[in-house]
Amino acid sequence: MRSYGQYCSIARALDVVGDRWTLLIVRELLLRGACRFTDLKAGLPGIATNLLSARLKELDEAGLITREDAPPPVATVLYALTEDGRALEPAVRALGRWGLRRMGEERPDDAFRAHWLAYAPAWFTTAADPEAPAAVIQLVASGEEAVIEIDGGEVRTRVGRAASPDLVLDGPPRAVLGLLTGVIDLARATELGLSGQGDMDVLRRLRPVEGDVPGAPSATGF
Amino acid sequence: MRSYGQYCSIARALDVVGDRWTLLIVRELLLRGACRFTDLKAGLPGIATNLLSARLKELDEAGLITREDAPPPVATVLYALTEDGRALEPAVRALGRWGLRRMGEERPDDAFRAHWLAYAPAWFTTAADPEAPAAVIQLVASGEEAVIEIDGGEVRTRVGRAASPDLVLDGPPRAVLGLLTGVIDLARATELGLSGQGDMDVLRRLRPVEGDVPGAPSATGF
DNA sequence: CCGTATCCGTGGAGATACTG
DNA sequence: CAGTATCTCCACGGATACGG
């Protein structure tokens, strides 16, 4: 990317990560940890291989990622964020929090991945009642599965299935994520096709983070 | 900008503000408040007028800014952020905080503006001792002037000159900003050409924000 | 003076085919 | 599986000319 030529930390940040796809590659590496070219490609539907290749080279040169040969059994290159790269997390998070207000807009052809279902509650909610017993929520949306584990004051998430969740939420991504992030209420989520099985009260254990997340459903189409 | 086509709040945010120049335009509007086309152009050295025009149109359509006719004496269009646009501040801030680690890299031809000198201490420092009396620091860097007013727990800044500052810092932008944001120490700042007149102790009233700002000077060239 | 519109050269983006 | 090579095309940057 051509430099902005401005002595301003925002411009300098964008000199490095302002290119198309770059921050989404960082997102993938933040969510997945060290992974292969093919994993990245799978998590970045729509990217061309030459572009992914070029961006990884740029990120490497900028010192944001490392390319290391995996140990023998794997025998491939693994990409991972450096400390400098991981330090982008607050910026990526803040962008994602702002982006929540655009999640109501319906675009049925959008790609969707299980780990995106997972990171949203991890990044944009907190545990409401640290004293309460641990709880597990199974999420299913567009066939993608993720698990929320609320334990003490912590909200952890992962891709996949839980053995015996307290609650199973199933529905279109808009309904599941909108409800979890507090952008819509249960009634609206149900209208959008959400179905819940189990103890719906555990939902109260998740509190959407404050900040720029709109408390009231704005006119975004939810 | 072409949509990423991903149902992910980060991707959706970048669908709106991921274009080249867009976040820098938001930066200008955050720092200046409502302003004219020409003011924006002045704060965005390097942008072509057609691009600025195009971006403003896109931002308007996306609902991030308003274009309102200024009252008679001015008789021009004023651009201002909507609530949705202002909500980007945390994201812009987080990017700027990350970008601090690239401010050590010397690039003498970079443009520099007084309001960039002003926002850095406002966004990236806090008052260390809320109980202490008010203090005023005059900044001068590359001919650009800004004022820091520390009052109670608050750090306010503005462009321009102060009547009787407790301290005047003068030097190249790298030295002044590096010192204020805590990326370099006084000795290094002096090496880089910083000169201070007045009570250097008021510098202790400013504490760099924690987070991803590198506490220790990393190998970035400072 | 403020802002928009047009033209053109260059480079980055996207799609796809292909190779170690 | 992990990229590289190639091709087309649009977006960007820069200059300039134009309308209010």
Tell whether B94 is covered by a domain: no
Q: Is A3 on the interface with B (CB under 8 A)?
A: yes
Please report how many Cα atoms fall inside a 13 Å half-sphere around the Cα of residue B111, on the Cβ side. Answer: 14
**Rounded to whole angstroms, how far apart are CA atoms A138 and B221?**
48
Q: How confident is the model at residue B214 (pLDDT cuts 50, 70, 90)?
A: very low
Tell whether B38 is covered by a domain: yes
Q: Kindly state whether residues B136 and B72 are assigned to the same domain.
A: no
Which of B23, B52, B87 is the last residue in one of the domains? B87
Cα nearest neighbour of B113 on chain A: A7
Domain that holds residue A154: 114-208
Which of chain A's residues have a Cβ under 8 Å away from the Cβ of B95?
10, 13-14, 17, 91, 94
Please state, as a whole number, how many other Cβ atoms lie within 10 Å of the Cβ of residue A59. Answer: 25
Tell whether B93 is covered by a domain: no
Tell whether A2 is covered by a domain: no
Find the CB nearest A27 among B10, B18, B94.
B10
What is the predicted pLDDT for the residue at B222? 58
Sort strands A154-159 and A167-170 into parallel, antiparallel or unpaired. Answer: unpaired
Helix (H) or strand (E) holding A170, with range, is: strand A167-170
Which of B52, B87, B122 is the last residue in one of the domains? B87
Cα nearest neighbour of A118 on chain B: B8
What is the predicted pLDDT for the residue at A217? 37
Find the CB nearest B24 among A4, A89, A112.
A4
Task: Return positions of chain C under 7 A from a protein CB.
Answer: 1-7, 12-17
Contact (CB<8Å) B27/A10: yes
Q: Which of B17 and B69 is assigned the larger pLDDT?
A: B17
Q: Kindly state whether residues B119 and B177 are assigned to the same domain.
A: yes
What is the predicted pLDDT for the residue at B211? 62
Q: What is the pLDDT of residues B31-41, one digit of tens each?
A: 999 999 999 99
Cα nearest neighbour of A9 on chain B: B99
Chains A & B: contacts with CB separation below 8 Å: 178
Mean pLDDT, all residues of chain B: 91
Contact (CB<8Å) B10/A24: yes
Q: Kindly state whether residues A71 and A154 are assigned to the same domain.
A: no
Alpha-helix runs per DSSP H in chain B: 9-17, 22-32, 37-43, 49-61, 83-86, 89-99, 114-124, 173-180, 186-191
Which of chain A's residues have a Cβ under 8 Å away from the Cβ of B174?
7
Q: How confident is the model at residue A64 (pLDDT cuts 50, 70, 90)?
A: very high
Q: Do A63 and A81 meet the contact criterion of CB atoms below 8 Å apart?
A: no
Q: Which of residues 68-107 of A touch B (CB under 8 A)?
A: 84, 87-103, 105, 107
Q: Is B8 on the interface with A (CB under 8 A)?
A: yes
Measured in angstroms, what separates residue A63's CA from nucleotide C11's C1'? 24
Average pLDDT over residues B144-164: 96
What is the predicted pLDDT for the residue at B35? 92
Torsion angle of the four alpha carbons B59, B62, B65, B66, in this order, in degrees rounded to the nearest 10: 110
Tell whether B105 is covered by a domain: no
Tell whether A80 is covered by a domain: yes
Which of B35, B68, B87 is the last residue in one of the domains? B87
**Whether the predicted pLDDT of B111 surpasses 60:** yes
Tell whether A107 is covered by a domain: no
What is the predicted pLDDT for the residue at A213? 43
Q: Which of residues 131-190 of A touch B (CB under 8 A)?
A: 173-174
Q: What is the pLDDT of residues A120-132, one digit of tens each?
A: 999 999 999 999 9
Q: How confident is the model at residue A210 (pLDDT cuts 50, 70, 90)?
A: confident
Find the CB nearest B16 among A1, A88, A102.
A102
Q: Kindly state whether residues A119 and A83 are assigned to the same domain.
A: no
**Rounded to whole angstroms, how far apart are CA atoms A140 and A138?**
7
Instruction: Identify which of B43, B23, B21, B22 has the alpha carbon closest to the alpha carbon of residue B32.
Output: B43
Instruction: Identify which of B100, B95, B120 has the alpha carbon closest to the alpha carbon of residue B221.
Output: B100
Q: Kindly state whether residues A190 and A125 are assigned to the same domain.
A: yes
What is the predicted pLDDT for the residue at A71? 72
Q: Kindly state whether residues A76 and A134 are assigned to the same domain.
A: no
Q: Kindly state whether residues B121 and B201 are assigned to the same domain.
A: yes
Q: What is the pLDDT of residues B85-101, one digit of tens each?
A: 999 999 999 999 999 99
Q: Is B5 on the interface with A (CB under 8 A)?
A: yes
CATH number at residue A70: 1.10.10.10
Q: Kindly state whether residues B78 and B13 are assigned to the same domain.
A: yes
Q: What 3-state DSSP class applies to B99?
A: helix
How many angstroms separate the Cα of B65 from the Cα of each of A91, A219, B56, B59, B61?
A: 22, 16, 8, 6, 8
Minimal CA separation from B112 to chain A, in Å? 5
Helix (H) or strand (E) holding A135, with range, is: strand A135-141
Please state, as a whole number, how many other Cβ atoms lie within 10 Å of the Cβ of residue B83. Answer: 11
Q: Is A68 exposed, middle or buried (0-12, 13-18, 19+ CB in 10 A)?
A: exposed
Instruction: Identify which of A173, A180, A179 has the alpha carbon closest to the alpha carbon of residue A157.
Output: A180
Helix (H) or strand (E) holding A127, with range, is: strand A125-127
Q: How many residues does chain A have?
A: 222
Instruction: Identify which of A156, A92, A98 has the alpha carbon closest to the alpha carbon of residue B63.
Output: A98
Q: Do A71 and B70 meet the contact criterion of CB atoms below 8 Å apart?
A: no
Average pLDDT over residues B42-53: 93
CATH number at residue A143: 3.30.1050.10
What is the predicted pLDDT for the residue at A1? 79
What's the number of domains chain B is made of?
2
Average pLDDT over residues A200-215: 78
Q: Kindly state whether residues B70 and B133 are assigned to the same domain.
A: no
What is the predicted pLDDT for the residue at B90? 96
Q: Kindly state whether residues B143 and B188 are assigned to the same domain.
A: yes
What is the predicted pLDDT for the residue at B209? 87
Q: Do A114 and A140 meet the contact criterion of CB atoms below 8 Å apart?
A: no
Contact (CB<8Å) B91/A88: no
Sequence-distant (6+) residues with CB within 8 A of B205 are B127, B128, B129, B132, B135, B150
Average pLDDT over residues B121-137: 95
Q: What 3-state DSSP class applies to B21?
A: coil
Tell whether B107 is covered by a domain: no
Q: Is A215 on the interface with B (CB under 8 A)?
A: no
Measured in angstroms, what separates residue A139's CA from nucleotide D7's C1'? 43
**Rounded to whole angstroms, how far apart are CA atoms A20 and A41?**
15
